[in-house]
Amino acid sequence: MSRLLIKHGRVVDPTQRLDEGLSVLIVDGKVARLAERIEDKDAQVIDATGLVVAPGFIDVHVHLREPGFEYKETIATGVAAAVAGGFTAVCCMPNTQPPNDSAAVTEFIRARAAEAGLARVYPVGAVSKGLEGEELAEVGEMVRAGAVAFSDDGRPVHNAYLMRRVLEYTQLFDVPVVDHCEDPTLVAKGVMHEGAVATRLGLRGIPAAAEEVMVARDVVLAELTGGRVHIAHLSTRGALDRVREGKARGAAVTCEVTPHHLALTDQAVADTSFDTDTKMNPPLRSPEHVEALIQGVLDGTVDCLATDHAPHHADEKALEYDLAPFGVVGLETAVPVTYDLLVRKHKLPLRLFVALWSSNPARLFKLPGGSLKVGSPADVTLLDLNARATVNPDRFRSLSRNTPFAGQRLKGWPGATVVGGKVVWRRERK
Amino acid sequence: MTVKAAPRLRGKDLVGIDPLSPGEIQLILDTAEQMRDIAQRPIKKVPALRGKTVVNLFMEASTRTRFSFEVAEKRLSADSLNFSASASSVSKGETLLDTALNLEAMQPDFIVLRHQYAGAPHQLARILKSSVINAGDGAHEHPTQALLDALTIRLKRQTLEGQVVAIVGDLQHSRVVRSNILLLSRMGAKVRVAGPPSLIPVGMDAMGCEVYRRMEEAIAGADVVMMLRIQLERQGRMNFPTVREYYDFYALTPERLKLAKKDCLVMHPGPMNRGVEIDSRVADGPQSVILEQVTNGVAVRMAVLYLLAGGNGEPAAD
């Protein structure tokens, strides 16, 4: 019997409306007891004095790049980055090579994840064969193999007929369809948010409307079909309004927002003078959109946070702005970036912050975890809210370094990560 | 507003007008005026940059700008090397960064970069020890073009302050318009821009200009009309209908020119599409200063090279 005792922490668990000083006893990978004082001579002890003890954080949107792009990231380095960032579970997108559009690839990912240990990995399967947007992939086979959601992420499900049918068909399995919303004809050759900054820099813009027309369509199709649409990396005011309206009408539409879309604006492209680590899709938006997103988090329209962790090799990013690939890593900066911004600056209650990273994504994707109720899987994220540190990409566990947050001094970092009752990562104390 | 020339340029590079102060712009223009004299001498050469090496790295087709830089370099006695994309290892898959690092390993003092993508000179300037001069990056900036345009106006009008300058054409794809808006507004001119609404980028007014859809409104009472080249090679077929229709609404014709001030200057950065954005009667007419722009281009580029090499605004001695 393995026993772990997390002592004297501040337990914050939205699923039990808990925010109090408690100790947590874990036996055989499950939460066994919560009480003010627990003594257990046989247990390994973590002294959590001064730390927050929360249900394990879940990132529902990462790219682990394996199979196919192991020079950017592997499942092993990806989960190492996850636990170092305070995450106990991740959902990985299917745009690998080959793409995860079959049970065989889903099984491969799960087998690799099992070998790597550390964080739990939940594969997201492709909506369409080869991510080509034409034929429905074998969704049911992938569910059997462990897929928890479906997406053609990296691309939208452009064909509305296909989107309609997948929203219908997936109801057999009660899994969400995650859509990367953009109309490619409106994106054209855009590389950053369309607005005054792009105009001044002479870079081609991606209008907010490119995202909004697709979100509007998805909300309409969610209502038509009754299927569950989850909008990936929502980034504009108008898209948020469409989601808010859809929810008000009872559509099964949810959304996530990334740390970088909340913490940075398109001005970062100018301020860094074309640093390609500011290039991602959707692009960093202008302040009016960013303010709307923060408001959406505060008022509960935003269901969860997710990183869209998108590793790219330094050689790929060391190109002209137009030629560099879209995407930034996020797993190892997400918690401090969002804590600093949302809780410290915008006074989001800590309980809601924890919910956005744990219980909410667990509920949306129907994942085990996200709770510290007795009997739950013992996935725990410990937060050291007083820790201050500077983002140093050289110390990332991820294979890639493409972060727009390098050099930022942030407060509120993960302190330790526990998966299935095992301490898989602890912050080095100075 | 009288702008006092700065004593020297602050940076090692000239990547755009955006980073320049009015004083630095004034310094370049003052120096360029002195450089103009060199071209009037029987021996058009001074030793100011003797022993300096300039690499002209042109990753995008250009005749005028490359020649202009080359002439400027030769008049200052620098050694020039020309590297153009078609003849380069770029086609073998070498990145811009590697190309630049390889060239820098030969220890040039300047790299003059023309590139089809915005920001390329800025990215190189961060990494290279040589001075990087932007000779046009995508739709972003073309600082020496704006400087030569400003010099041309200043020579005719003594000052830029209060001049009403109308710039007409494809605003979306033009780096010339961006550098000109920044420079002219910074020096106290009043800038108006006009073009087809489908080619007006969002928020251009924030750069320091008034934006018009109808060119007639923009050129009414203007001191200067600058026409932009319609970049037919960069257009899809959805931005405006046809060249024929473009001429109808946006070409500078003798009739339209009458809307401007009587002595209004007519400018064009070249190469011109005659009969598309400009009527030949205007291009070759008495108000045109288009060829003077080309002459002034050499002087401006000499000034930029000279100042970045450490010159302090004193005229180049023999």
CA distance A4 to chain B (A): 51
The mean of the pLDDT values for chain B is: 93
Closest CA–CA distance from residue B129 to any residue of chain A (Å): 17
Q: What is the pLDDT of residue A312?
A: 98
Contact B140/A203, CB-based, under 8 Å?
yes
**Does residue B85 carry a pLDDT above 90?**
no
**B122 vs A contacts (CB less than 8 Å):** 273-274
Helix axis angle, A208-225 to A160-169, nearest 10°: 40
* pLDDT tier at B234, thresholds 50, 70, 90: low
Query: A353 to each of A17, A18, A254, A339, how far by Cα in Å?
Result: 13, 13, 17, 7
Looking at the annotation, which residues of A are catalytic?
308
Residue A364's pLDDT is: 98
A194–B contact, CB cutoff 8 A = yes
- A197 CB neighbours in chain B (<8 A) are 203
pLDDT in tens, B49-77: 999 999 999 998 888 999 999 999 999 99
Please name the residue of chain B whose CA is at the shortest distance from the CA of residue A315.
Answer: B95
Report the pLDDT value the prediction gives residue B50, as an integer from 0 to 100. Answer: 96
Per CB-CB distance under 8 Å, the chain B contacts of A203 are 118-119, 138-140
DSSP string, B165-216: EEEES--TT-HHHHHHHHHHHHTT-EEEEE--GGG--TTGGGGT-EEESSHH
Q: Would the pLDDT of B317 be above 50? A: no
pLDDT at B314: 52
Q: Which of A195, A196, A321 sits opposite B118 (nearest CB)?
A: A321
The predicted pLDDT at position B63 comes to: 85
Nearest to B119 among A195, A196, A201 (CB): A201
Q: What is the pLDDT of residues B252-274, one digit of tens each?
A: 999 999 999 999 999 999 999 99
Q: Is the pLDDT of residue B91 over 70?
A: no
Judged against a pLDDT cut of 50, whether residue B87 lies above it is answered with no
pTM of the complete model: 0.95
Tell which wins on pLDDT, A291 or B240.
Answer: A291
Q: If you write DSSP's letter for every residue of A25-47 in order, what string do you get?
A: EEETTEEEEEES----TTSEEEE
Q: Are B135 and B159 a contacting pair, CB within 8 Å?
A: no
Average pLDDT in the B35-42 region?
93
The pLDDT of residue B1: 57
pLDDT at residue number B311: 72
Query: Is the per-residue pLDDT at B233 higher than 70?
Result: no
Please tell me the predicted confidence (pLDDT) of residue A380.
Answer: 98
Residue A203 near chain B (CB below 8 Å):
yes
Phi, psi of B136 (to 5 degrees): 115, 115
B161 closest CA partner among B169, B150, B172: B150
Q: How confident is the model at residue B7 (pLDDT cuts 50, 70, 90)?
A: very high
Q: Report B:132-171 residues touching A (Cβ under 8 A).
A: 137-141
Q: How many other C-beta atoms can be found within 10 angstroms of the C-beta atom of residue B97?
A: 17
Please report the pLDDT score of residue B312 as a whole number: 56
ipTM given for this complex? 0.94
Rounded-to-integer distance, Cα A186 and Cα A213, Å: 10
Is B95 near chain A, with CB under 8 Å? yes
Q: What is the mean pLDDT of each run of 10 residues along chain A (430 residues)?
A: 94 98 98 96 96 98 98 98 98 98 98 97 98 97 98 96 98 98 96 98 98 98 98 98 98 98 98 98 98 98 98 96 97 98 98 98 97 98 97 98 98 98 89
